[in-house]
Amino acid sequence: GQNIDQPTEMTATEGAIVQINCTYQTSGFNGLFWYQQHAGEAPTFLSYNVLDGLEEKGRFSSFLSRSKGYSYLLLKELQMKDSASYLCAVRDEGNNRLAFGKGNQVVVIP
Amino acid sequence: NAGVTQTPKFQVLKTGQSMTLQCAQDMNHEYMSWYRQDPGMGLRLIHYSVGAGITDQGEVPNGYNVSRSTTEDFPLRLLSAAPSQTSVYFCASSYMPGTVNSPLHFGNGTRLTVT
């Protein structure tokens, strides 16, 4: 089975940097995904990590440590449109199921 | 290229009624899945399929049936609706897990209310 833990909410100022953490426990690991979900909309894919280290995509970066069961998503130069829920999801190696955490709500204020 | 298309967008059912939520994708994805999303619970996997003719249960399958007769379509059936099934339902698809960077692509969701 899988157990994924994320903090629930954080507030940050426009232009700032915010780090969203995700810890997980799984019997077999086959990749970690980050998604963004605006209120009332579908989740959209942000980043993917399967090996340890940092993946950078523009203003967003994601880090993975498989030995620690830990990932973070780093949002730089925050913009108002970044106000959303950020979902961490882990794929199980055995059955290929993708399990989601409950999401972290980020509120960006001027 | 429409991506993942879900219908209907909104639905109200009475307890005991049955209905089918439709999902179709045009990306030739082998993997398709259904999630429900409830406040404070996150996305929970209902059923999934790794190809035509193959389906399997997820975390919360009770009260739901699925079939996968074609690669494109993956309908979700509610057999006898209950108020506990009031939720937002998302269909999602991807290339086979294990291929490099195969993220799920989500439909726009179906908002279901059971009274």
Contact A41 B101 (CB under 8 A): no
Q: Nearest Cβ partner of B42 from A30, A42, A102?
A: A102
Contact B42 A48 (CB under 8 A): no
Q: Nearest Cβ partner of A102 from B41, B98, B104?
A: B41
Model confidence pLDDT, tens digit, residues B11-61: 999 999 999 999 999 999 999 999 999 988 889 999 999 999 999 999 999
Residue A43 · residue A36 · CB < 8 Å = yes
Parts of chain A with a pLDDT under 70: 1-2, 7
Please work out, in degrees rounded to the nearest 5, the angle formed at the alpha carbon of residue A56 by the alpha carbons of A51 and A57. Answer: 125
Instruction: Say which DSSP state B63 is in.
Output: T
Model confidence pLDDT, tens digit, residues B4-13: 999 999 999 9
pLDDT value for B98: 65
pLDDT value for B69: 97
Contact B42 A96 (CB under 8 A): no
* Contacts A49 to B, Cβ<8 Å: none
* Contacts B31 to A, Cβ<8 Å: 96
- C-alpha closest to that of A80 among A10, A20, A14: A14
DSSP per position, A8-48 = -EEEEETT--EEEEEEEEESSEEEEEEEEE-TTS--EEEEE
* Contacts A100 to B, Cβ<8 Å: 35, 42-44
pLDDT value for A1: 58
Contact B40 A102 (CB under 8 A): yes
Angstrom distance (rounded) from CA B108 to CA B106 = 7
Contact A98 B98 (CB under 8 A): no
- B98 vs A41, more confident: A41
The Cα of A103 is separated from the nearest Cα of chain B by a number of Å equal to 7
The Cα of B79 is separated from the nearest Cα of chain A by a number of Å equal to 24
